[in-house]
Amino acid sequence: MWRKAEISNENQEFEKLECEKAEISNENHEFEKLECEKAEVSNENLEFQQLECEKAKISNESRDLTKLMYENQGSDWLLH
């Protein structure tokens, strides 16, 4: 009878450990999900930075174009 109680306790401990193992597995899964979301956010930040860079290039090109237009207007004015 005493041995049966001992085995029952071992089974309970085993079930408890299995439950903890499942919880850890779920936590790992949640961690992996968060890592994936972190990577997605990182990619979005990179895309945003690339867009900001393109925006700056366009702004510079626009500034250069405006400068050329003013220079050409000055040349036209000198010709008239």
Q: Strand, helix or coil at 80?
A: coil
Tell me: the pLDDT tens digits for 6-61? 888 999 999 999 999 999 999 999 999 999 999 999 999 999 999 999 999 999 99
pTM exceeds 0.75 for this model: no
Length of the chain: 80
Supply 38's token pair.
Answer: 């972190």
